[in-house]
Structure 1
Amino acid sequence: MGRERTSASGLEVELAKHKGIEIHGGSIRVVFMWRRIRCRETLGLPVTKANIKHAALLRAAILHEIKTGHFEYGRHFPNSKNAANYTAVKDERIGALMERYKPLKAVDITPMTEEKYGYALDICADLLGSERLAGILLPEDIQRLRTKLIATRAPSTANHYLATFSGFLAWCEDNNYCREGLAAACVRFTMIGREPDPLTKAEFDQLINKGCLHVQDSAAITLAVYTGLRPGELCALAAEDVDLESGQLQITRAITADGTFKVPKTGKPRTVLLMPPALEACRTLIGLVTNHEPLQIKIYMNRHESRTETVTPLLSPKTQARKRVINQWYVPTSWNTKWAAIQRRSEIRPRRPYQTRHTYACWCLTARGNLAFIAKQMGHKDFTMLVEVYAKWMDDESSNELDRIYRNIFNSPSS
């Protein structure tokens, strides 16, 4: 009896020496944390000092493998009912996974987009911790990331980072590097106060008559307002894109901030029909570049495919330049600078250059233009975006709209 008491006491002392070793159902059990989960596995060994020491060594080996990212649950506990669930996700660190993901994503995007994506991914990795295991991330971690991003950044910037990181997490989910649902946790922030802010007719007149010091500037702004071109499309226009006789403009390219040419945002060229002010603006701009030499440029369809064209810049810094060495093309950033100076001189409320596109849409909608036609002119796939973004301008005008519709129905040839 005394020997049994002494033996039991000795086992208790031995157990006390080793953290994470306990007795369960007359057998030794190891306890450890993995991927934020408390794991308990019974070894099926009788309770002896030797077996307790063996369990402690096993647990120490497991903790080392977890720390170094080489732990395989099924190898240590092949008969465990938890093995299948716990081994579904591989142990990889966020930083290492990101370096593997970047070149795989790069094949589908342009070099400049790759640079922007890489910067966004690096920021998110730093905020989360690049050395953390992707397999232990929880939706709570992504929610905390959102909080950190919005604390020091504009909603548009935070949303860009979240969208980019969501793509990375979706790739991780597809390859079993993290649990499902993390990509969905990258919820974008609601954009408040970013609705269209179009120019009024009076403000447009001030821009042209008071803000513009050169005929090229007034013609460029007129063209932007009366066509709804994106800034990158406007800056990439060539004289060869304009057909003055038919009153049409071909949009086949855009230019990025680093001077790289690419296809338009939708990936497809489009034809823009020119209103009289836009047609006259094109005529003016073509006249200004008549003596300019055509340039050979490369337009990237994607990272691996490009086409070469020889064209004359329609809107060129060279037209107004006094220096001999000057860029041949405006890029969106340099156009932003010029636009800001024109607004400042005109003394109107400052807006982003993109508002000229919104101005075109709003003016067309308040004039009761056909939705499908306007969407096609602006390069939208359909008129869904027009309805979502510009509903205010569609609803604003004409209490006599019903009468106008009725008259058109009554006077149509099929009546």
Structure 2
Amino acid sequence: MYPEGVEVRGNSLRINFIYKETRCRETLKGWLVTPSNIKKAGRLRAVIVSEISCGEFDYYLRFPNSKRALRFGNTNHSGSFTLLNDLMQRWLIIKETDYTPETLKKSRSALHICANLLGKDRAILNITHEDALTMRRDLLHGMTAYTNRTNKQGRSANTVNTYVTVCNEFFSFAMRSGFIKTNPFDNVGHLTVDRDSPEPLEREEFERLISHQSISDQAANLWTVAVYTGLRHGELCSLAWEDIDLKNKTLTVKRNLTNQNRFKVPKTRAGERTVNLLSPAIAALQRQKALSFLFPSKDVDITLRQKGKKRIDKCTWVFITGLSKHGKSVNCGYIGNVGINRLWHDSIKRSGIRFRNPYQTRHTYACWMLSHGVNPAFIASQMGHKDMTMVLKVYTIWMPSGNASEIEKMEQALKQSCPISVPSVPHLKNDGR
């Protein structure tokens, strides 16, 4: 026989009592079902009933993680009853002023996952540093919970670091706003991430890619322009004939296409640039002109950097959808980022070259230019970087096929500056000492 108001529910203990004419049931978390704990639960319930009778019962102090604490809590603790998920939603609304729609969508997704791991219905005041570290571990090693794709074990270190950064920013806001006294994500370090080295195309691979008989003319033109200009794929998607001056051999980057199919100006002013066209890119654009130049232009809304500001560009798309192998189109819309990724995977498969991600077209441009001795500062300006730091940090790699020629250059330099043979060093006589 259990004490009054004490229940055994599987492997847990629960007490029930009447408070403000409502029957309340609370599970005693962490209490094992043992005879001594059953007696302790009975005594705890008796104390609670006594506090209720005397008007001294504080629901929050007894059960801080209970949902009923929000309803019955003492007004002295009202600030403590803010639920984690509720404050996250309020913060996301506030950040609409600062974030782009793309960044806001990523932050919302990250916080949704983190809230589920931390306990979205917990009072934010109860989130501890240990909870933050446990969340990071679960993100790295636990199962994902996707609803629209296949789940897997764990996430990449890069993804985990991104989620931790978003949480750190959110809890900093909560602390500055007075909801918590300390940020539980302070000193939650980032995981070590190995930067992937560029995997540029070899020239032989590139020739196979664009000359394969099953590759469409537009695909061959697109990859040629991509490799010989270094444009980002969003910039390729939004490229219009109004941006190209074949006479002066230039191309002006004026806009970018986001993964949410929103046109906007480049993220930085360095991204708005004039690219000098190399002869292979010019030839590819001249061939593409016969396929898409005469299609009608469209008025396109372009989001500017200043919040709420837009402009309208008249665009005749260079690379278009619905284009058959024979150059006929029934659509003539722009190719999106998803379309470029699919086209890349299809082209790689058909040509039989080693698989790489589509962004390697940009890496290829940088590496080919560097391997021919082009000034890194000029390469940076053509690629839309503010300075050459990124080029030197990421793209300084010698192409494998160029190793022999570089070694030959070194050998020639050594022959010109060093003697053929090194004079022998006279030996000391051994005098027996």
TM range (shorter): 0.7 to 0.9
Give me the CA root mean square deviation.
3.4
Are positions 1:360 and 2:375 aligned together? Answer: no
TM-score, normalised via structure 2 length: 0.69
Alpha-carbon distance change, 181 to 64 in structure 1, aligned in 2, over 3 angstroms: closer
The equivalent residue for 2:106 is: 116
Q: Secondary structure at the match of 1:190?
A: coil
State how 1:6-405 maps to structure 2 within 5 Å.
58=56, 60=58, 63=61, 66=64, 68=69, 92-151=82-141, 152-185=154-187, 187-192=189-194, 194-210=196-212, 213-266=215-268, 268-302=271-305, 304-320=308-324, 326=331, 328-393=333-398, 398=406
User: 1:349 and 1:59 mapped to 2: Cα distance?
Assistant: 70
Structure 1 residue matching 2:174: 3-state secondary structure:
helix
Range moving further from structure 2, 368-377 or 178-187: 178-187
Question: Once the 2 structures are TM-superposed, how far is the Cα of residue 323 of structure 1 from its aligned partner?
Answer: 9.0
Larger RCO, structure (CA 8 Å, separation 6 or more): 1
Cα offset, 1:401, TM superposition = 7.9
- Secondary structure at 2:206 match in 1: helix
The CA distance in 2 between the partners of 1:92 and 1:403, in whole Å, is: 73
* 1:25 match: none
Q: Give, in whole Å, the separation in 1 of the partners of 2:167 and 2:59.
A: 34
Is the 8 Å Cα contact of residues 295 and 332 (structure 2) preserved in structure 1? no
- CA drift at 1:101: 0.7
Count how many residue pairs are aligned between Structure 1 and Structure 2. Answer: 342
Question: Residues 215-269 of structure 1: CA distance to partner in whole angstroms, max 9, x if unpaired?
Answer: 2111110111111111111111001111112211111111123321112232541
Distance 1:54 1:208 in 2: 80
Evaluate the alpha carbon distance shift between residue 60 and residue 160 of structure 1 in structure 2; reply closer, same or farther with a 3 A threshold: closer
Cα distance, 1:273 vs. partner?
A: 1.3
CA distance in 2, matches of 1:334, 1:389: 27
Residue 128 of structure 1 and its aligned partner are, at CA, apart by 1.0
Alignment-mate amino acid for residue 60 of structure 1? D
Residue 53 (structure 1) shift? 7.0
5+ long unaligned stretches in structure 1:
1-51, 77-86, 405-415
Change (3 A) 1:53 1:172: closer
1:307 shift after superposition: 0.9
Bigger share in helix = 1
- Closer, same or farther in 2 for the Cα pair 1:54/1:240, shift >3 Å? closer
More deviation in 366-375 or 175-184? 175-184
> Which deviates more from structure 2 when the two are superposed, residues 390-399 or residues 206-215?
390-399
Alpha carbons 2:367, 2:397 under 8 Å: kept? no
d(CA) in 2 for partners of 1:402 and 1:173? 63
Structure 2: stretches of 5+ with no match in the other structure:
1-49, 142-153, 414-433
The Cα of 1:136 is off from its aligned counterpart by 2.9
Contact 2:82 2:123 in 1 (8 A): yes
Deviation at 1:387, TM superposition (A): 2.4
Question: Do the aligned residues in 1 keep the contact of 2:249 with 2:276 (CA within 8 Å)?
Answer: yes
